[in-house]
Amino acid sequence: MMAPPGESRQGVFVMRDSVMRQVRRYRFDRNPLRRRSDRLESLALLVAVLLVLLSAWPAVAAGRQAYQSAASAGAGGRLQVDATLLADVPVSPTSFGSLSRGGPVEARWTLPSGQEHTGQVRAPALAKAGTTVRIWVDETGRPALPPPSALEVRITGVVTVLLVMLGAVAAVLIALAAFRWLVDRGRYRAWEDAWSLIDERRRRRRS
């Protein structure tokens, strides 16, 4: 259910007023009512924003490094060969009858060097003995996982950038929160001292 146009405009105005209040609170000016702690807090917020913006450079550098590492790995000595199944894919009995699922089955394959290997490979459902399937093998001729695709390599780089940025933002926010906590403690202490001074002056006048 969509909100009436009047309520939508009111929400925009409220958000704008909230943003403007924050800007007026932390902006640098010559307002004599601003305390030293207020100016320090504004400076800390400015430094935090600059640090977050500067963290984009190392984040992009880390993402590029991760992308290049994943891309350079490539096949990593892996290659595809044809494997011949030595047995049928197992059939699992169920309450509805027999069900054939793709799974590991004994097979034989030959490397380009002519060396033969035998082992378990994954085959599609209903595959029979003698069926040829394409598999990836490592430098020793053992079955291996396929190399990452171009999309997976790009995702690795993007995820690395996001993780570094999130880590930088989290570190900056924690440091900013700790600084504001220290500033607030100083403010509370100053208020207590001011009230104590006022109470002392009142007692002197009464006496």
138 or 59: which leads in pLDDT:
59
Domain limits at 90?
A: 75-147
Do residue 136 and residue 167 come from a single domain?
no
**CA–CA separation, 160 and 66 (whole Å):** 7
Instruction: State yes or no: pLDDT of 61 exceeds 70.
Output: yes
**CA–CA separation, 45 and 156 (whole Å):** 32
Query: What is the chain's mean pLDDT, rounded?
Result: 78
Q: Into how many domains does the chain fold?
A: 2
How many Å separate Cα 120 from the centre of its chain? Answer: 36
Does residue 14 fall inside a structural domain? Answer: no
Record the pTM. Answer: 0.57
In this prediction, residues 58-72 reach a mean pLDDT of: 88
Q: Are 28 and 41 a contacting pair, CB within 8 Å?
A: no
Does residue 170 fall inside a structural domain? Answer: yes
Do residue 90 and residue 141 come from a single domain?
yes
At 141-182, the pLDDT tens digits run: 888 888 888 888 899 999 999 999 999 999 999 998 898 888
pLDDT of res. 155: 92
Please report the DSSP string for 71-119 in residue order: HHHTTTT-EEEEEEESSPPPEEEETTEEEE--EEEEEEEE-TTS-EEEE
pLDDT of res. 207: 65
Does residue 9 fall inside a structural domain? Answer: no
pLDDT of res. 170: 94
pLDDT of res. 21: 55
Q: Which amino acid is at 202?
A: R
Contacts for 42 with CB less than 8 Å, ≥ 6 apart: 26, 27, 28
**CA–CA separation, 44 and 182 (whole Å):** 12
H helices present in 32-96, as ranges: 36-54, 56-73
Of the candidates 146, 149, 143, 90, which has an alpha carbon nearest to the alpha carbon of residue 119?
143
Do residue 55 and residue 141 come from a single domain?
no
What confidence category does residue 1 fall into, taking pLDDT thresholds of 50, 70 and 90?
A: very low
Do residue 125 and residue 143 come from a single domain?
yes
